[in-house]
């Protein structure tokens, strides 16, 4: 093996991130989840379910809270796994987080977050045309620059499904066991 190839192999062994992109970090995934309003959405949907579904009333308040907390934690874990899959690598997630900190990114992603939350809560959604019309030249430049990056390709992807029926049933079983609920 020549010296160049040996050096390249050692470099790739010592620095595996050069060979393959690193998966999004948990911190990046949580930041994306919050940025898109998915954190609030999950919390709201499950809290509303527990408020309105009479089948949860059979449990004492402590067990109901335990179930809600356990299922919410599981739903966040599923969502974060889907986000990680969709974004693929940490550089993409970090690029979105950086875009969200620009004036243009902050306005657009803030409106998207507000729209996601409003839709789930059955509230009026922000007028995206008004948001777009209200963008200044510098904000439009932020958006145009981001749209030219590989990170923007995430917008073209279909959001991965999460929480299959089997996974949901397993999560309920685990939550029931953790909360001291004996199922017959």
> What whole-number distance in Å separates Cα of residue 110 and Cα of residue 36?
8
Number of domains in the chain: 1
The answer as to whether 11 is a domain residue is no
Residue from 144, 137, 133 nearest 99 by CA:
144
> What whole-number distance in Å separates Cα of residue 134 and Cα of residue 151?
24
pLDDT of the residue at 161 = 66
The answer as to whether 8 is a domain residue is no
> What whole-number distance in Å separates Cα of residue 108 and Cα of residue 102?
10
Residue from 153, 137, 143, 145 nearest 106 by CA:
143
118 or 184, greater pLDDT: 118
Range of the domain at 68: 21-178
Other Cβ atoms less than 10 A from the Cβ of 87: the count is: 22
Q: Give residue 160's pLDDT band: very low, low, confident or very high (50, 70, 90).
A: low
The answer as to whether 15 is a domain residue is no
The answer as to whether 155 is a domain residue is yes
Task: Match 């685990």 to its residue by tokens.
Answer: 174
> What's the whole-model pTM score?
0.80
The answer as to whether 131 is a domain residue is yes
């Amino acid at each position: 093996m020549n010296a160049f190839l040996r050096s390249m192999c050692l470099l790739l062994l010592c620095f595996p991130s050069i060979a393959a992109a690193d998966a999004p970090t948990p911190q990046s995934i949580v930041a994306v989840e919050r940025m898109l309003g998915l954190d609030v959405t999950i919390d709201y949907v499950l809290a509303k379910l527990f408020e309105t579904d009479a089948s949860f009333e059979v449990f004492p308040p402590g067990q109901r809270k335990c179930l809600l907390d356990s299922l919410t934690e599981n739903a966040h874990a599923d969502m974060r796994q889907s986000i990680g899959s969709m974004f693929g690598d940490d550089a993409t997630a970090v690029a979105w987080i950086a875009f969200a900190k620009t004036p243009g990114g902050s306005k657009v992603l803030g409106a998207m977050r507000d729209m996601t939350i409003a839709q789930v809560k059955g509230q009026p959604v922000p007028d995206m045309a008004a948001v777009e019309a209200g963008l200044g030249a510098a904000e439009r430049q932020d958006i145009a620059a981001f749209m030219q990056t590989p990170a923007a390709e995430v917008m073209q992807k279909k959001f991965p499904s999460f929480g299959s029926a089997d996974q949901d049933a397993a999560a309920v079983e685990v939550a029931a066991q953790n909360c001291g609920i004996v199922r017959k």
